[in-house]
Structure 1
Amino acid sequence: MPNHKEIQNKAIHQRKNKISVLFLFLVLFMGIFLFSVLNTISSDRRIPSHNTTIYDRSFRGAIISADDYTLSSSEKTYQAVVRGASIDPDKKALFVKLFSIYSGIPEKKILKKFKNRKGQEIKGNIILSKTIHARSAMQLKSLAYKLQKLDVFQPIKTRSGIEVVYGLDIIENGESRRFPLKDVLSPILGYVGDKSDGRYTRPSGKKGLERAYEKHITSKKNGYFQGKRDVVGAVIHDKNSIKMQRVDGLDLHLNIPLALQRRVELMIDQMKLSIDADEIIVGIMESKTGKILSLASSERYDPSYIRQKDIAALVPKFTEYPYEAGSVLKPLTIAMALDKKRITPDTWFKTGYKKFDITGGQSVSDDDYFESLPVTDIIVHSSNIGTSQISWLLTGKEFREGLLKFGIAQKTGIDLTRDLPGSLKPLRLLDHKMHRANSSFGYGMMVTFTQLMKAYSAFNNDGLAMTPRLVDYLQDAKGNHYTLEPEIGNVQAVNKKSAGQVHDILLEVVKRGTGVKAQYPGLEIGGKTGTAHIAKNGRYVREYHSSFYGFANDKEGHKYTIGALVIRAKKPYKYFASQSAVPTFRRMIDILVELDYLKPEGGLEVSSPEIKVEPKIPPKIIHEPTVVQKAEEKKVTVEPVKKPAPTVKELFKIEKTPTPKPKPVNTTPAKDKSTQELFEDLF
């Protein structure tokens, strides 16, 4: 049997174990308690906080015209949320009626929101609309207060047994993009899509300037105001409150004045109808700076409401539509040969061939027969035979490098989303006389509208081809201006003397060649026509690109490079550039004169022939005009009509709906009107 001492030791040992276990329990309990306290302190609790934060989300930058009209801007959007079970059933019809009036949403559409797919009433949260704009949001917030006063909402018991009244909540959920002038300046402006982080939606550029300047105009940093709250939840402004200013995206300020752009757009819309063309593209650029004053297409769309039929128009053809240039490339060929001193403007070439063999079993011919022509008249009469022979005075390498210096087969550097380079035959082919001849008058190569605008600016700017620029500068909220250098700069295409010689040749084209319809007394007008077949499935068809690129200058130093491209004019004989692109070019000059961008010497104002929109006639077989008919067409001269320039309403008179009351006629001449008055005339 164990003795007394052993029993006593065993009892002491047991007590020690019990005390140790109890101590461990106490330590564990204390640890759990301290962890709970720490977790309570560090975590967000459901009790009202003494501090609150008001967020001020930043905006995407706006796009603004040169005459300070907002073309694209952002505004906040809100969503309306209500709890289905919180609406008194007897007053549900009143709620739906009032919400429909304030929001503009039909009652039937609102009632559908209250039921699920099975047709059962939804008791939880219901999103009535996700696209409420700021003005409507303010009105709906006012409605929410009135509905509370009318006892439309009934209390709901929570799981804890507390009765809570849920009302109509108007919650900020994103930012939307506004295009207040609808299709004006599209597709240059481009369009946006939605980019969401789950709770907040922002616009994201998809095309045009919205995409090209995405990283500069996108929202930069949200602002907030943080401080103690009072009993009603309002932030107290004191020395301890913290305010952080938001940083919005930069605003884009364009070189394009809205008054000029809209005039040009309305004009080409009418011209398109007049000649039944698929599309007309035009541009006006300052020859000295490269600033684009107008870049317009007859195919436009409303960026805030894009329809299925608008998809083709989403692509800006100015930079994304390569085509075979035709005869407008001939001045470039002449300029390169002049630059290399292989010819002078007075060098004569034999052109008296009915068919001129360019080897390889191929031959070219001219519309007009001349036994021989000097270089100047080769361009004036657009001789394929003469241009081919001039191209042979250059090597394949010289010819190719010369075109590259003009910017052909290269990106122009214009600030748009995509700037396609087009294409040029490789050196191994251009070493062959046949390929060099074809390329010399614009076939077998692909160019874009902006490439030719850049190239032709060299003939009006001492040989320096200017990079086209849409954006003048970027501006922040403090008014600071920032400019971005183009990725591809200006290029010296040819020397000053050669550019001047081609300049003078282009003047002769307008004086006595295919460009006579572009004449304007008191102004220096030059340019070159081009009528090129369109290729389909590897074969040329009876469809054409008609174009006219050139310049218009006055004695006061205003110098503009102007281009007009007509795609598939289908009215009889309107596919000739002299019947479509040249009159379009001339009407742009009329607009420039009316708005004081050009000032003719002597103050003469000559109006272009009225644009006539004839009804479509059934298709019929169109015979090619004879050589004599074409020659007669080229020799037509335009006699100045000494009468005041037509107003915008006279030039673009389209009556869609009868006007109830005629407005008083403003007799102020267009050139004396303010930008605001001109803008109001257009709309």
Structure 2
Amino acid sequence: MSALRRAIRPTKPARTAEAASHWRLYFFRGSLFLVGLVIVGRLYVLQVVGREKWIAMAEEQHTVAQALRAEWGSIALRDGDLAYPVAVNREYKLAYVIPKLVEDVAGTAVALSAVLGVDESLVRERLSDRADPFEVIKKKITPEEEAKLKELKLKGVNFLPEVYRYYPAGELASKVIGFVGPSDLGEIGIYGVEAGWNGELHGRDGTLSQERDAAGRWISLTDREHVEPEDGDSLVLTIDRVIQYEVEKILAESREKFNADSGSAVVLEPKTGKILAMASVPQFNPNEYGKTEDIGLFMNPIISLPYESGSVMKPITMAIGIEEGKVSPHTEFVDTGVVNEAGYNIQNAEGKVYGRSTMTKVLEESINTGVMYVERLVGHGAFRDRLRSFGFGAKTGIRLPAEHPGNLKNLDNLKSTIQFLTASFGQGITVTSLQLAMAYGALANGGVLMKPQIVDRVIDRDGEVRPIEPEEVRRVVSQETSKAMGEMLRSVVVNGHGKRADVPGYLVGGKTGTAQVAKSGSKGYDENITIGSFVGYAPINDPRFVIVVKFDNPKDVQWAESSAAPAFGSIMRFLLSYAKVPTTEPIKK
């Protein structure tokens, strides 16, 4: 038995080895099958599921796409029956070098530095990179610089034409126009009309696509995909060139005379809402915007910087009181010089007391207690609603960027009486100069509020002209209230603080406002800083022009009657003469 066991014992390992060999073969075949499935699956994904993606990638490697730039539309101001261009396209040359073609690196660097005014070491560094096929030395070189370099016949120095935005009028209306600058999406309008109307002005770029060979060369026999660019529309603004120039001139002179931080003015037609001038000083040159150290100069304060307007808000309060039937120009009240509310004494300017006074006198003498009296009669809710109806607390809808809606949030709580009382004379709420212009424009326009208009007409790339029609917003007061307010504002100029705004021979009406400026970071107002405003229109019997003039922190005068009022008078005098408006009143000699 033991011999038999010894005889059969060697046969067991042989069978085990044979089984293992078969198992390895099956495993190998199975693995090959699984790998095959993975490969087939991957090929299915690549060739079927992701077919479009890979075709696109292959085509991209063999296709050259070139952008065809659309031409920007121009911007012009009105100039009589003509248009005065203020934003156009202009071709400049770019100076560049091909380093490997430069024979004398040191000499070429010296020459380029001397002619173009660029740093010599920087030029030398760029010339030294022989592997670089293209190095820009300077953009927008002058014709004189190009001529001098061509005379030198420097090896490897070349010129490339590029189209840039150019502003032929320089600083004129620069804060209205804005400028074009670089972005991640290419050149776009930045600030002003350039930004607000970027879509129309920019147009739509085209493309030119064609296959290329492995060396990157065009394959001439293949089809090209050609999408034509669509050039931008051109704009003619409502701004009048002559009026804009004169307003800017008067503002600059007045700002210097009164030693103010800044000044601004807006002129509009009350019947159409068209802006004839929108100016502020100091200004900037859009051709050299990169040199402007204070980017705040790019902002248009007339639409972007709200302020507590002060007493120029009083005629709006009075118009609300008349429209609500609570007062008339002849309604009397007794002024005691102070109103106590919530533990605060609210006084008239300089603590004056006027006694028995009509509503007309309230505006003439700018009596704070008088408009607080009107606000109480109207009621907080109705007063707030009427302010909103006039357009305060909301954007006017002018198509310019960064318009501020102003702020009436202090009037959210109808139980906060003190906020409503101070709002009646323009304190505690903020408004923009444009909102004031449109609100007074409604008083001048028979009670109808218009939408402000900055573009007069659009001219498309085919030359078709599309006029922009005036747009009514809503009626805010009646014809009767409008007429009464005109008479009261005329009385302010004749008998009140607006005398220096008058123009001999014409019926001019308006209101001064000397506003306080809230302290930064604390409660209360800074006693050393004021804002002087004057808002008005003329002729009262047939209003042609509404003007808002504002000076920030005039240091050499205290009251608006000595700063904004005379500047208003100078602008209005020019406007009435320029428009050949006939006189209606005798002129005293």
Is TM more than 0.5 here?
yes
Q: Specify the SS of the correspondent of 2:420.
A: helix
Matched residue, 2:88: 73
Q: Give the superposition deviation at 1:225.
A: 13
Contact 2:260 2:554 in 1 (8 A): yes
Report the Cα distance in structure 1 between the residues aligned to 2:128 and 2:66, rounded to whole angstroms.
38
1:552 and 2:538 equivalent?
Answer: yes
Q: Give the superposition deviation at 1:131.
A: 1.3
Report the Cα distance in structure 1 between the residues aligned to 2:439 and 2:327, rounded to whole angstroms.
20
Report the Cα distance in structure 1 between the residues aligned to 2:343 and 2:386, rounded to whole angstroms.
24
Report the Cα distance in structure 2 between the residues aligned to 1:248 and 1:348, rounded to whole angstroms.
63
Q: Give the superposition deviation at 1:139.
A: 5.7
Q: 2:167 aligns with which of 155, 164, 179?
A: 179
1:125 and 2:133 equivalent?
Answer: yes
1:414 and 2:398 equivalent?
Answer: yes
Give 1:70's aligned amino acid: P
Contact 1:463 1:499 in 2 (8 A): yes
Q: Give the superposition deviation at 1:133.
A: 5.7
Matched residue, 2:254: 271
Structure 2 CA distance for partners of 1:362 and 1:114, relative to 1, 3 Å: same
Contact 2:97 2:137 in 1 (8 A): no
Q: Specify the SS of the correspondent of 2:518.
A: strand
Contact 1:554 1:600 in 2 (8 A): no
Q: Specify the SS of the correspondent of 1:322.
A: coil
Give 1:170's aligned amino acid: F
Give aligned pairs, total. 515
Matched residue, 1:562: 547
Matched residue, 1:113: 123
1:538 and 2:523 equivalent?
Answer: yes
1:45-60 alignment runs, 5 A limit: 57-60=69-72
Q: Give the superposition deviation at 1:409.
A: 0.9
Matched residue, 1:637: none
Q: 1:404 aligns with which of 371, 385, 388?
A: 388
Report the Cα distance in structure 1 between the residues aligned to 2:300 and 2:561, rounded to whole angstroms.
25
Report the Cα distance in structure 1 between the residues aligned to 2:60 and 2:177, rounded to whole angstroms.
46
Q: 1:334 aligns with which of 318, 342, 348?
A: 318
**Structure 1 unmatched runs, 5+:** 1-38, 47-51, 154-166, 227-239, 605-639, 643-683
1:470 and 2:454 equivalent?
Answer: yes
Matched residue, 2:181: 193
Q: Give the superposition deviation at 1:427.
A: 5.1
Contact 2:329 2:358 in 1 (8 A): yes
> Percent identity over the alignment?
25
Q: Give the superposition deviation at 1:597.
A: 5.4
Give 1:546's aligned amino acid: G
> Residue deviations 1:482-511, cap 9 Å, x none?
35689x962321111111111111011011
Structure 2 CA distance for partners of 1:120 and 1:335, relative to 1, 3 Å: closer
Q: Give the superposition deviation at 1:221.
A: 3.2
Which stretch has the larger CA shift, 420-429 or 287-296? 420-429
Report the Cα distance in structure 2 between the residues aligned to 1:544 and 1:458, rounded to whole angstroms.
27
1:206 and 2:190 equivalent?
Answer: yes
Q: Specify the SS of the correspondent of 2:125.
A: coil
Structure 2 CA distance for partners of 1:431 and 1:396, relative to 1, 3 Å: farther
Q: Give the superposition deviation at 1:601.
A: 3.9
Give 2:384's aligned amino acid: R
Q: Give the superposition deviation at 1:426.
A: 5.2
CA RMSD of aligned residues (A): 3.7
1:218 and 2:189 equivalent?
Answer: no
Structure 2 CA distance for partners of 1:437 and 1:569, relative to 1, 3 Å: same
Contact 1:456 1:561 in 2 (8 A): yes
Structure 2 CA distance for partners of 1:447 and 1:242, relative to 1, 3 Å: closer
Contact 2:375 2:383 in 1 (8 A): yes
1:481-560 alignment runs, 5 A limit: 481-482=465-466, 490-536=473-519, 537-542=522-527, 543-553=529-539, 559-560=544-545
Report the Cα distance in structure 1 between the residues aligned to 2:553 and 2:60, rounded to whole angstroms.
68
1:130-149 alignment runs, 5 A limit: 130-132=138-140, 143=150, 147=153
Structure 2 CA distance for partners of 1:310 and 1:44, relative to 1, 3 Å: closer
Report the Cα distance in structure 2 between the residues aligned to 1:442 and 1:222, rounded to whole angstroms.
52
Report the Cα distance in structure 2 between the residues aligned to 1:349 and 1:290, rounded to whole angstroms.
36
Structure 2 CA distance for partners of 1:212 and 1:349, relative to 1, 3 Å: same
- Structure with more of its chain in strand, by fraction: 2
Matched residue, 2:12: none
Structure 2 CA distance for partners of 1:358 and 1:598, relative to 1, 3 Å: farther
Q: Give the superposition deviation at 1:430.
A: 3.7
Report the Cα distance in structure 1 between the residues aligned to 2:226 and 2:409, rounded to whole angstroms.
62
Contact 1:350 1:371 in 2 (8 A): yes
Structure 2 CA distance for partners of 1:361 and 1:270, relative to 1, 3 Å: closer
Q: Give the superposition deviation at 1:558.
A: 5.9
Contact 1:558 1:597 in 2 (8 A): no
Matched residue, 2:364: 380
Report the Cα distance in structure 1 between the residues aligned to 2:578 and 2:225, rounded to whole angstroms.
51
Give 1:445's aligned amino acid: I
Contact 1:334 1:390 in 2 (8 A): yes
> Residue deviations 1:433-483, cap 9 Å, x none?
433221111111111111111110011101112222211122122221235
1:300 and 2:283 equivalent?
Answer: yes
Contact 1:464 1:494 in 2 (8 A): yes
Give 1:57's aligned amino acid: R
Report the Cα distance in structure 2 between the residues aligned to 1:596 and 1:61, rounded to whole angstroms.
30
Q: Give the superposition deviation at 1:219.
A: 3.3
Report the Cα distance in structure 2 between the residues aligned to 1:550 and 1:453, rounded to whole angstroms.
8
1:61 and 2:73 equivalent?
Answer: yes
Q: Specify the SS of the correspondent of 1:524.
A: coil
Give 1:105's aligned amino acid: L
1:283-362 alignment runs, 5 A limit: 283-306=266-289, 307=291, 309-351=293-335, 353-362=336-345
Structure 2 CA distance for partners of 1:369 and 1:558, relative to 1, 3 Å: closer
Structure 2 CA distance for partners of 1:583 and 1:97, relative to 1, 3 Å: same
1:563-578 alignment runs, 5 A limit: 563-571=548-556, 574-578=557-561
Give 2:198's aligned amino acid: E
Q: Give the superposition deviation at 1:193.
A: 2.1
Contact 1:563 1:585 in 2 (8 A): yes
Q: Specify the SS of the correspondent of 1:534.
A: strand
Q: Specify the SS of the correspondent of 1:305.
A: helix
Structure 2 CA distance for partners of 1:179 and 1:289, relative to 1, 3 Å: same
Q: Specify the SS of the correspondent of 2:536.
A: strand
**Structure 2 unmatched runs, 5+:** 1-54, 211-222
Structure 2 CA distance for partners of 1:471 and 1:43, relative to 1, 3 Å: closer
TM-score by length of 2: 0.78
Report the Cα distance in structure 1 between the residues aligned to 2:66 and 2:380, rounded to whole angstroms.
69
Report the Cα distance in structure 2 between the residues aligned to 1:554 and 1:377, rounded to whole angstroms.
18
> Residue deviations 1:516-542, cap 9 Å, x none?
111212212000111111111222112
Give 2:88's aligned amino acid: S
Report the Cα distance in structure 1 between the residues aligned to 2:526 and 2:101, rounded to whole angstroms.
70
> Residue deviations 1:118-146, cap 9 Å, x none?
x9563643424351469579869x949x9
